[in-house]
Structure 1
Amino acid sequence: MKIALALALTGALLTLDVGAADQGWDGKKLYRYTNEHGVQVLDDMVPPRYVAGGYEVMTPSGRVLEVVEPELSGKQLAEKERREAREEADLQLLKRYNSVADIESARKRKLAIVQQDMAILRSNISSLSRQIESEESVAARTQRNGGAVSPELLERIENLRKEVAVVSERLSLREKEALTINSEYDEAASRYQEIAGK
């Protein structure tokens, strides 16, 4: 009981002390900032040229009401944004995977889809190439026999070649995608080991 009463009295006295320091405070605020000579200045306003350097808002008795941090320079801001982006990426990585084995498993699944597409595209190129050979063989036979190759046949051959070019381009994109996937998952596994080991 005595301890509880003593604690209550101490709390009341502390409250009175804080209140006493600001008794009669009419809401006037002072600002403390550092000028170009490195000297702290207490004033009723912060000149615009010092705002970027940060300042404190205070009562006349010296109680700090608010601290306004200095603005970051372009380089500092870029570094802060880079650090925050890295922290967010790390957080997402830890949420997505429970281990490096999970990362490797995800890599295999993603690569399997791309490799399946690549196999289909290679098969299509092979099939189209056989069709071109067949049509060219017909055209060559016609010419050997002294005949003129029909424009329709020449057009078919040209269309098949264009199709091979389109499919080859798609295959090339998928091959690049496979390299990108491997690179991304290598980086994810490496980063996971770094942050999980901390």
Structure 2
Amino acid sequence: MKTAFALAMAGVLLTLDAGASTQGWDGRKLYRYTNEHGVQVLDDQVPPRYVAGGYEILTSTGRVLEVVAPELTGEQLAEKERREAREAADLQLLKRYNSVADIESARKRKLAIVQQDMAILRSNIASLNRQIEHEESTAARTQRNGGAVAPELLERIANLRKEVEVVSERLSLREKEAQAINSEFDLAASRYQEIAGK
């Protein structure tokens, strides 16, 4: 019965002006979808198995009220999300900077803070190493004179070495941060030039 109805309606719609106004429309809706054989079907409902393929909602006079797009596959959805994320990132980039020179200026400001911290850490390491050398020199002198090195002195040297390790680790993290900042701003400058060139 649905097939007969669909064929009858398709014949009626072919004779009607698809762009006709909705004046005089009785409020009844029809649905046009494509079945598994690639044939367009007109019906009073869309069977659930065809919903994902998309469909159109029409008036009884053939005017299209709404087009429901097909559902995206996992890959298509992921691509759409990537595209939307890129567009959002591009918009943020254009809002934040007016030129590549602005990007370079921001890079310098951000790097200056990290480099200042790195300089302080290097200075701390040098100072700790001087202290270690001094304490080791004291311990060596004591041993040369035939004395026993005080356990407190050995503990102080061990603690200073641990402190050097901690500060060196912090310095290493800051160096990685500086590299990350450079990479981030390289990408921003490159992308800005691409967008501005369009």
Give the structure-1-normalised TM-score. 0.86
**Deviation of residue 38 (structure 1)?**
0.9
Distance in 1, matches of 2:117 and 2:58, equals: 67
Q: Corresponding residue for 2:80? A: 80
Q: Which consecutive unaligned segments of at least 5 residues does structure 2 have?
A: 1-19
- Given the alignment of the two structures, is residue 39 of structure 1 paired with residue 42 of structure 2, yes or no? no
Aligned-pair identity in percent equals: 84
Q: Check conservation: 1:21, 1:61, Cα contact below 8 A.
A: no
Q: Corresponding residue for 2:51? A: 51
Distance in 1, matches of 2:148 and 2:46, equals: 92
Equivalenced residues, count: 179
The runs of at least 4 aligned residues of structure 1 exceeding 4 Å deviation read: none
Distance in 1, matches of 2:85 and 2:96, equals: 16
**Deviation of residue 63 (structure 1)?**
2.1
Q: Check conservation: 2:22, 2:63, Cα contact below 8 A.
A: no
RMSD over equivalenced CA pairs, Å = 1.3
- Given the alignment of the two structures, is residue 18 of structure 1 paired with residue 6 of structure 2, yes or no? no
Deviations 1:71-117 (A, max 9, x none): 11111111111111111111111111111111111111111111111
Q: Corresponding residue for 2:11? A: none
Please show how residues 1-198 of structure 1 align to structure 2 within 5 Å: 18-20=21-23, 22=25, 25=26, 27-198=27-198
**Deviation of residue 49 (structure 1)?**
1.3
Give the structure-2-normalised TM-score. 0.86
**SS of equivalent to 2:57:** strand
**Deviation of residue 29 (structure 1)?**
2.0
**SS of equivalent to 2:104:** helix
Q: Which consecutive unaligned segments of at least 5 residues does structure 1 have?
A: 1-16
**SS of equivalent to 1:18:** coil
